[in-house]
Amino acid sequence: MIEIERKFLVENEDYKKLAVKKTYFVQAYLNTHPERTTRIRIAGDKAFITIKGKSSASGLSRFEWEKEIPVEDAKELLELCEPGAIEKYRYIIPLEELFYEVDEFLGNLKGLTIAEIELKKEDDSFKKFDWLGKEVTGDPDYYNSNLIKRSIKI
């Protein structure tokens, strides 16, 4: 599957009033190579293994493969991952047909909040809220696989 998404920094907490769901996430990576990442994630009471390729030239689309796995397996696999883990709350903000996912990072990344919207086509239009700041679509600095390096205490 190819994922088409736009990503923005979030400037204030107004999005929380629009959220219909809040889930605690913890995730880490078996590998963070720019051409292929393998992520283990526990999301609430579910868990997943997710493999992503590198971004297209436009930075908008990226190969993604995901499979649900038992939470107990995910806990074992998280221990095997590269050092560091990301913890965050994910909020769902619905639009008419689409929705924003807003990630409020915790721990060493506290203060960082990122909103993502997944589109059906690269030129889909979508509502831009006041709390959306700088667009960081395709910027590797804001891949979770790179943020994890900032989240490791030195």
Look up 29 and say whether it is catalytic.
Answer: yes
Site for its own copies in 74-93 (CB under 8 A): 76-77, 80-82
Contact region with its own copies (CB under 8 A), list: 12-20, 34-42, 91-99, 123-131: 34-42
Radius of gyration of the chain (CA): 15
Does residue number 73 form part of the binding site for its own copies (CB under 8 A)? yes
Binding part of the chain for its own copies, among 31-39, 87-95, 104-112, 136-144 by CB under 8 A, reads 31-39
SS3 assignment, position 118: strand
Q: b/e per residue, 115-151, with b = 16+ CB within 10 A?
A: bbbebeeeeeeeeebebbeeebbbeeebbbbebbeeb
Note the residues at the interface with its own copies (CB under 8 A). Answer: 30-31, 33, 35-36, 38, 49, 51, 53, 63, 65, 67, 69, 73, 76-77, 80-82
